[in-house]
A and B are shown apart, each in its own frame.
Chain A
Amino acid sequence: MDFARRSLRIGLVVALIACVLQAISGDISARGVAKHQPAKLAAFEGLYNTESNAPLAIAGYVNEPDQKVVGLEVPGLLSFLVYHNPHATVEGLDDIPPQDRPPVESCFLFFHGMVAIGFTLLFIAIFGCFFAWRNKLVENRWLLWIMVFSVLGPEIANQLGWFAAEVGRQPWIVYGLLRTPDALSKVVEANTVLTSLILFTFIYFLLFAVFIYLLNHKIQHGPHPDDLVPHGKLALPKNLIHHQ
């Protein structure tokens, strides 16, 4: 129990630092997208019209027929995040020829799903660090249970982010240079690709099941007793440990 408590403390501090760094890295990447693939950023944010004071959607969905975002928006925040100026002009989808636009609705949902998970993880880490600091972590079992399932958060965010990046680049496979239909192998048939896709999916589910099984087994058993005694070149001599 003492081992678990200490491990969790280290884990929470690392998670907090990593979540903050992740947000910074995300900001830098998004500005890169704005610069190099404006159509992708416009699709992420459902920004149909080029505008100054471009808003950032916190939560919502895209009404594609009416070309607008329904939900909670902060005016000027997108302009601020991209150009560090709330009045800056952000390129919308109206600047992109219709045949070069990615599917907006799915990009918006993938991207916002990823960001939402990222911030949820950040809040979990903040709460966790706060309760750990107050030594009240063990009493808040609801938070511990959330942490158990938060392991899936980064995995899902990763996948959603990947979907957003790939779908957001459509119809290009190399942005502005090569269209996806032009990049297909001429001799590989669709059913062959489907076969490999099914096999890959099967393998991934199989490996995921084995992974969860082994991980659970390892957690249930805890660390090997020998690992709880420091050893190796960097460890303090045994007599010193006993004095501490």
Chain B
Amino acid sequence: MNHLDLNTVWFVLVGVLFTGYAMLDGFDLGIGALHLFTRKDEERRIMLNSIGPVWDGNEVWLVTGGGALFAAFPNVYATVFSGFYLAFVLLLFALIFRAVAIEFRSKQPMFWWRQMWDIGFATGSIVSALLIGVALGNIAEGIPIDANGEFAGSFLGLLKPYPLLIGITTVALFMMHGAIYGVMKTEGSLHDKLRGWAMNSIIFFVICAATTTMVTLLYVPHMAEQIKSHPWLFSIALANMLSIANIPREFHRGNDWLAFLSSCATMATLMMLFGIDQYPNLVFSQPNPENSLNIYNAASSQKTLGIMLIIACIGVPIVLAYTACIYWIFRGKVKMDRTSY
């Protein structure tokens, strides 16, 4: 990281957008993953309505992240979206089914109807989280890229142990994030249940995170090289560990909001570690590192990046403002009425 040019700024911005996506959509995917743990119709409805007003706004961050990638680094977009075609189609179906399930589930009273959409919602949420993690894991470990910058692997080749581990870790992270969010939004017996699930998912996540760290250091050593050569960057790894440790600490004290913020900080520091070790590569090529796509050989023209930066400076504050508005309007515990999901 020698100097701050437009390419680096966009590398950071794409990272910020995906981090925002993880923090926001992470908890509603997590709520989805926990959905089938309760069998009571009323409780399932409360869980749905806790994310009801915000989940689609949260998914906008995925769209803007993908859009920014397309405009700023079109070669990466082309390689990844062509190479991961089937995986991304599956992700799209998972996202479609969970979205449709939220809308349709409570429109009919029949048990089979609601059960069908509930399963769709939970499966769609878990599969989405898993596939996002698997994609991230593949990018971290490196994927085969030929001299023309095209993906040279297969769909089944993406389901290697390391990406699958990252996928499961992502599911655990989102479940924990969603359970803490659920605790903040509910009261009564569901609140107590969610408290228990949050505790279990914190344990689940800590085990996954520890395993991922060990496996990464042992089998994907290139993910630690930047930190090795710049020891001060270890502070981010330390910050990551501290924020993970702070989640159960605040949660036990009943500071659910601080526990949620610690969970957000965990995601931010994880993404920073990921970004630092990728930089300046966007897609690491394994086994031929010289074919890697980086922020220079995969970028749009300087003019495009400059214009996009102006648009981002106008657009991002607007998105942040309306997001803050929505969360403020729907603050507090979920209240059900006739128009609820």
Instruction: Render B80-114 as a binary contact track against A, CB cut-off 8 A, 1 for contact.
Output: 01110110010001001000100010011000000
CB distance from B294 to the nearest CB of A (A): 20
A187 touches B93 (CB 8 A): no
Chain B: number of interface residues, binned into ranges: 10 to 19
Q: Does B40 contact A (CB under 8 A)?
A: no
A-B contact pairs, 14 of them (CB 8 A): A186-B148, A187-B82, A187-B85, A187-B150, A187-B151, A187-B152, A192-B85, A192-B86, A195-B86, A195-B89, A196-B85, A196-B86, A199-B93, A203-B93
CB distance from A126 to the nearest CB of B (A): 35
> Which of B142-176 touch A at CB < 8 Å?
148, 150-152
Q: Does B303 contact A (CB under 8 A)?
A: no
Given contacts A187-B151, A203-B93, A224-B338, contact A210 B86 (CB under 8 A): no
Question: Which of chain B's residues have a CB closer than 8 A to the CB of A224?
Answer: 338
Q: Does B78 contact A (CB under 8 A)?
A: yes
Question: Which of chain A's residues have a CB closer than 8 A to the CB of B150?
Answer: 186-187
Chain A residue nearest to B82 (CB atoms) is: A185
Chain B contact residues: helix, strand, loop or mixed? helix
Q: Does A226 contact B (CB under 8 A)?
A: yes
CB distance from A235 to the nearest CB of B (A): 16
Q: Does A188 contact B (CB under 8 A)?
A: yes
A207 touches B82 (CB 8 A): no
Contact of A210 among B82, B85, B104, B151 (CB under 8 A): B104
In angstroms, Cα B85 to Cα A185, docked, is 10
> Which of A152-202 touch B at CB < 8 Å?
185-188, 192, 195-196, 199
Question: Which of chain A's residues have a CB closer than 8 A to the CB of B85?
Answer: 185, 187-188, 192, 196
A positions within 8 Å CB-CB of B: 185-188, 192, 195-196, 199, 203, 207, 210, 214, 217, 224, 226
Contact of B82 among A188, A195, A226 (CB under 8 A): A188
In angstroms, Cα B83 to Cα A214, docked, is 38
In angstroms, Cα B71 to Cα A56, docked, is 41
B83 touches A196 (CB 8 A): no
User: Most B CB atoms within 10 A — which of A196, A199, A217?
Assistant: A196
Question: Which of chain B's residues have a CB closer than 8 A to the CB of A207?
Answer: 100
User: Most A CB atoms within 10 A — which of B82, B85, B93, B96?
Assistant: B85
Contact of B104 among A186, A203, A214 (CB under 8 A): A214
A186 touches B82 (CB 8 A): yes
Question: Which of chain B's residues have a CB closer than 8 A to the CB of A203?
Answer: 93, 96
In angstroms, Cα B93 to Cα A185, docked, is 21
Question: Which of chain A's residues have a CB closer than 8 A to the CB of B82?
Answer: 185-188
Question: Which of chain A's residues have a CB closer than 8 A to the CB of B78?
Answer: 185
Question: Which of chain A's residues have a CB closer than 8 A to the CB of B83?
Answer: 187
Chain B residue nearest to A189 (CB atoms) is: B85
> Which of B57-87 touch A at CB < 8 Å?
78, 81-83, 85-86
In angstroms, Cα B100 to Cα A187, docked, is 31
Given contacts A185-B78, A186-B150, A187-B151, contact A196 B100 (CB under 8 A): no
Question: Which of chain B's residues have a CB closer than 8 A to the CB of A217?
Answer: 107-108
